[in-house]
Structure 1
């Protein structure tokens, strides 16, 4: 038994309490819920796969995508270890994960960051993992969209349905690309929260796998406060996807008004950007800016998507464009150490952590 007894009084006005897992946590959660607590969250359920012993405390963030009634959850994990890295936040985005537990190297990445003292914001895509809100409402317009996807089943059909239904029913006063807000605004709100609540914050970085890699590309392109970004197996330019067939699909990856590419010479391969921003421009924006850097990480023999050497058609070009702009850096790393869809230990130890080491305690 412990030598000292620590008692934490739960305020009667609290609407949400986050509790560590295990038998004791389950018992406490049960009794709080029976006592009228509106929402009790078990870390063992939502952050399964993460080493809880590395966490000092956890904030559960609820992003409401105004003016809609639609919620996205994220967990801000404060490390147990105290050092200068506590003032640095790394966003880790899980993408299209399936099941309950975080895995595929995402969990190992979170553990390593916490062990090194970084504050970590863990995020899921909408309709994935702990993001179970499937209804988008805009009461003032009498607008409701419900997505029928089954949460916890890997795939992109729910996101495709979200785009399709929103595009069909969206009020005229809102832009056609509004669906992107449900993917990207929770990330921006997470950055806002960290910087607002930490006056001595040093920097914000971001990484993610698969759909989380896509989210990393997009968020770094629109929010220059994200200084370093490491999208893993997240995107190819549209012209390149025919050479890696698993890379096809996902409306958020193909939305024509944004990413459109046309075949100007009739060889059946798109070669000219014709949308708001091509993928190559989005890549470059992620690395452009004073003190900014992006390293795109692709698994050469990925079992899912964005594999083979087709990246050689654009990597030097994008890097050169960012160099010519005079601020920032863009690089690409091809991981040839495995044949699966993961953030590998090699990438974590040889690419991500060394890049983050600037200013590390």
Structure 2
């Protein structure tokens, strides 16, 4: 009886509809989730959009690229130092796996410090029977001696639809936690490049022999900024060398939303971008959100957060959709972004692009929900309620 009662209470607490209701009814919930704070409403947000025309975009983009990569042009010819084809069949020599592998048991049996180190060589075999999967390539490069490599999982469909999705995971997790979402995309014909934040998954020298031996990349790619923003560029370079794509989309959650914001601003090949559960002007950040400053530190003197968003939708055919979890238990919650939506929409419209801000009210977690995933795919495919 006690176990049954506990099960019911757990279901009620973790079920998204009841959890959302709890958040709304909690003390202070109305002020936190339903109203724009007075200190936010009084901010001079209209002054924070300074991109006016295509010349402004070109100037800021060149300056951002110089700050990140040491040159005013995108390194479009830069390819992975090493490519392992069909890693799901032939993972090669790798370090002992830190945690029990496989999607069903890893969160039940592993500590957080091992979950965030899940390695592609340990996990790829669990993906080999995915519907429509032709193979997984691992793309790697050695950035900082004895410290940081990058590793990208490149999922190739048997029957592709000509669309590439870059998926950027945030902190406290790896893209393996999103295996069901990635599996669904591959099943529908999307090519997917999955990326982790620096220091997560295979983006460390934990597996010294596999990732941190041999020739280092050029020193200009070993900076803190390049470590975050180079892998998406390399992923697009590799993908475009493999085949032609009619659409390139980038999706990032939490800290990954900030990488997505900057990547779309500096790389116009990304046609549609989706920062999810993250990204507000620095003056609006509260509590845990403050850690996001580190990701864009050194860039916002060139282009503020709102200008970066506009640069991701700077011409006809380019678009950005920012999605906020209104009842997020962690951060970037509430309706604060509503004061930004009309400014961003108008600035993008003047450049020929489109910018939208959406609020997900279906759950109270820090994640990409089914509702958000549906809105994202509608926009990627140019159909449905979120389409132009």
Give distance in 1, aligned partners of 2:119 and 2:225.
Answer: 29
Aligned-pair RMSD on alpha carbons?
3.6
Q: Which of these residues, 217, 234, 238, is aligned with residue 189 of structure 1?
A: 234
Counterpart in the other structure of 1:319? 345
Matched, 1:117 2:189: yes
Counterpart in the other structure of 1:330? 355
Matched, 1:201 2:242: no
Secondary structure at the aligned position of 1:53 is classed as: coil
Change in CA separation of 1:95 and 1:51 when aligned onto 2, cut-off 3 Å: farther
Matches within 5 A, 1:138-153: none
Give distance in 2, aligned partners of 1:51 and 1:213.
Answer: 28
Q: TM-score, normalised by structure 1?
A: 0.66
Q: Which of these residues, 328, 336, 340, is aligned with residue 365 of structure 2?
A: 340
Change in CA separation of 1:70 and 1:129 when aligned onto 2, cut-off 3 Å: closer
Give distance in 1, aligned partners of 2:185 and 2:201.
Answer: 21
Q: Which of these residues, 151, 157, 172, is aligned with residue 73 of structure 1?
A: 151
Q: Which stretch of the first structure deviates more once superposed, 50-59 or 329-338? A: 50-59
Change in CA separation of 1:197 and 1:316 when aligned onto 2, cut-off 3 Å: same
Q: Which of these residues, 170, 187, 205, is aligned with residue 95 of structure 1?
A: 170
* 1:252 CA displacement: 2.7
- Count how many residue pairs are aligned between Structure 1 and Structure 2: 273
**Structure 2 gap ranges (5+):** 1-81, 95-117, 384-388
Give distance in 1, aligned partners of 2:163 and 2:175.
Answer: 25
Secondary structure at the aligned position of 2:271 is classed as: strand
Of Structure 1 and Structure 2, the greater helix share is in 2
Of Structure 1 and Structure 2, the greater strand share is in 1
* 1:195 CA displacement: 0.7
Give distance in 1, aligned partners of 2:349 and 2:357.
Answer: 14
Q: Is the 8 A contact 1:63 1:189 kept in 2?
A: no
* 1:130 CA displacement: 1.9
Give distance in 2, aligned partners of 1:15 and 1:333.
Answer: 38
Q: Is the 8 A contact 2:169 2:175 kept in 1?
A: no
* 1:201 CA displacement: 2.3
Counterpart in the other structure of 1:45? 122
Give distance in 1, aligned partners of 2:296 and 2:242.
Answer: 36
Q: Is the 8 A contact 1:47 1:101 kept in 2?
A: no
* 1:290 CA displacement: 2.6
Counterpart in the other structure of 1:180? 225
Counterpart in the other structure of 1:285? 311
Q: Is the 8 A contact 1:18 1:58 kept in 2?
A: yes
Change in CA separation of 1:49 and 1:341 when aligned onto 2, cut-off 3 Å: farther
| Per-residue Cα deviation, 1:91-137 (whole angstroms, up to 9, x for no partner) | 01111133x6722xx33321221121000001111101121238999
Give distance in 2, aligned partners of 1:205 and 1:180.
Answer: 21
Q: Which of these residues, 252, 259, 272, is aligned with residue 228 of structure 1?
A: 272
Secondary structure at the aligned position of 1:201 is classed as: coil
* 1:258 CA displacement: 2.6
Instruction: Determine which structure has greater relative contact order: mean sequence separation of CA pairs < 8 Å that are 6+ residues apart, divided by chain length.
Output: 2
Q: TM-score, normalised by structure 2?
A: 0.62
Give distance in 1, aligned partners of 2:282 and 2:125.
Answer: 35
Q: Is the 8 A contact 1:62 1:73 kept in 2?
A: yes
Secondary structure at the aligned position of 1:258 is classed as: coil
Change in CA separation of 1:353 and 1:279 when aligned onto 2, cut-off 3 Å: same
Counterpart in the other structure of 2:59? none
Secondary structure at the aligned position of 1:287 is classed as: coil
Change in CA separation of 1:250 and 1:312 when aligned onto 2, cut-off 3 Å: closer
Secondary structure at the aligned position of 1:249 is classed as: helix
* 1:357 CA displacement: 1.7
Give distance in 1, aligned partners of 2:144 and 2:247.
Answer: 26
Give distance in 1, aligned partners of 2:125 and 2:262.
Answer: 27
Give distance in 2, aligned partners of 1:315 and 1:111.
Answer: 32
